[in-house]
Amino acid sequence: MPDIDKAICAISKVINNSKENVLLVSGMLRHEAYESQKVVDAIKGALSRSVRFDIIVGPDYDKESVFILDTLKDFIWVAPEWPEHHFMVGDNKHVRYEKDHRYSDSLPAVGNMVALDMPDIAEYLSARFYELKPSCKRFTETTKAKA
């Protein structure tokens, strides 16, 4: 699966190059990417560097992404609907961006873009993150309601 490998590399690259914080907006947190050893190791490494995560997911997130859902549950927010933009920002300068793939048969990584040290794009995407966040509910509150 070269497309999923591309996504895994891009996600890991942003996380591994972040020293302070990572913002992530994902529709699903697909387990094929977020349960991969490379991404799990990147998250563990970031946490050991005291990197802070703030994550927004769509309402139909992938429950098989157990590691990230368990490890970062206090930093995950659930959007009321599929987020229009999917992206990751590290340290307000590193970015990963996906084209809208809601209605596409291709995997999300087909239109994947990753760049280090792009503060203008990072600032724009960070603003989108903070515009979306007030409409979201804490992941821990949504899981309590289902229990």
CATH of the domain at 40: 3.30.870.10
How many domains does the chain contain in total? 1
- Return all residues near 129 (Cβ < 8 A) that are at least 6 apart: 23, 25, 54, 56, 87, 89
The model's pLDDT over 22-52, given as tens digits with 9 standing for 90+, comes to 999 999 999 999 999 999 999 999 999 999 9
Query: CA nearest 83: which of 63, 69, 64, 97?
Result: 97
Q: Which helix (H) or strand (E) segment is 89 a member of? A: strand 86-90
Look at residue 1 and tell me whether its pLDDT is greater than 70: no
* Tokens representing residue 108 in the block: 């999300």
Confidence band for 146, pLDDT divided at 50, 70 and 90 = low
**Domain membership of residue 129 as a residue range:** 2-146
Look at residue 99 and tell me whether its pLDDT is greater than 90: no
